[in-house]
Amino acid sequence: MSAATAWSSARDEWSRNARLRWGVGVIALVIGVWVFLVLRDWRDALAEEYLDRHAYLVKMQSLVGQDEWLERAEAAARIRAALEAEIPLADTIGIAQATVQTWARDLVAASGAELQVQAQAAQEVEGHPGLFRVPVVISGGLQAPKVMELIRQVESYGSLAVIEESLIMNRQNETFSLTVVAYFQVQEGVADAGA
C-alpha cells in the first residue's frame, strides 16, 4: 500500500465516519485545554519569580546606602581572625588528642578529686578541611562549687575549647559529666594519614 493510497483511505474514512471526526475533535480540544493550562501555569510561575526578584531588588536597594554593613563586615572579620588565632596547629590528630587529654588530666589533678577523663574520637569539622574537633569527657563526683571552678578553668583555656554538654546525674552523690571539645588545625596531608 503506497502513501497516496493510505492517505486516500484515511480521507475516505474521515468523510464517512462521524464518530472519528467527533473523537479527533474531542482529543484536539483536550490537548488545547491542556496546552492552555500549562502555558497559564508557566506564566504564573514567571510572574511569581518576577515578584520575588523585584522584592529582593527593592530590599538590596534599601541596604545600599547603609554604611553599617561595611562596619559589620569588618567587625565579623576581626572576630573571625581572633577566633582562628585561638585554634592551635597540630602536626597530627594523635598529637591534638594527646594535647587535649593531657590538659584535661591536668585540670582533674588540680581539682584534687578522683575524676575520670575519657577521650573520644576526633572528627573533622564539616566544610572546614583540616579543622578537627577533639572531644573529651570529664566525669565523676565533685561538689557544685568545684564543678563551677572546673567550668571556669575550661572557659579560660588558651585555645578554642567549648563545653558541648554538661550533665548533673545525681545531686545527692554530686556526680557530673562535662563533654569538652577542643579544636585543632591539622595539616591536610597529615590529617588524611591519621584519620
**DSSP labels, 70-117:** HHHHHHHHHHHHHHHHTS-EESSHHHHHHHHHHHHHHHHHHHTS-EEE
Beta bridge partners of 186: 90
123 and 158 co-located in one domain: yes
Q: What ranges in 3-17 are assigned the alpha helix state H?
A: 3-16
pTM of the model: 0.57
Element (H, E) at 170: strand 161-170
Question: What's residue 156's pLDDT?
Answer: 83
User: The CATH number of the domain where 177 resides is what?
Assistant: 3.30.70
Number of domains in the chain: 2
CA distances, 161 to each of 100, 124, 131 (Å): 9, 15, 13
* Angle, CA of 125, 165 and 191, to the nearest 5°: 25
- Give the domain extent around 128: 89-194
110 and 181 co-located in one domain: yes
136-156 tens-digit pLDDT:
999 888 877 888 888 888 888
Cα separation, 117 vs 114, in Å, equals 10
Lowest mean pLDDT among 24-33, 84-93, 142-151, 183-192: 183-192
**Do the domain assignments include residue 68?**
no
Question: What's residue 61's pLDDT?
Answer: 83
57 and 107 co-located in one domain: no
81-131 tens-digit pLDDT:
888 888 888 888 899 899 989 989 998 888 887 888 998 898 988 888 888
Element (H, E) at 29: helix 18-64
Element (H, E) at 67: none
100 and 164 co-located in one domain: yes
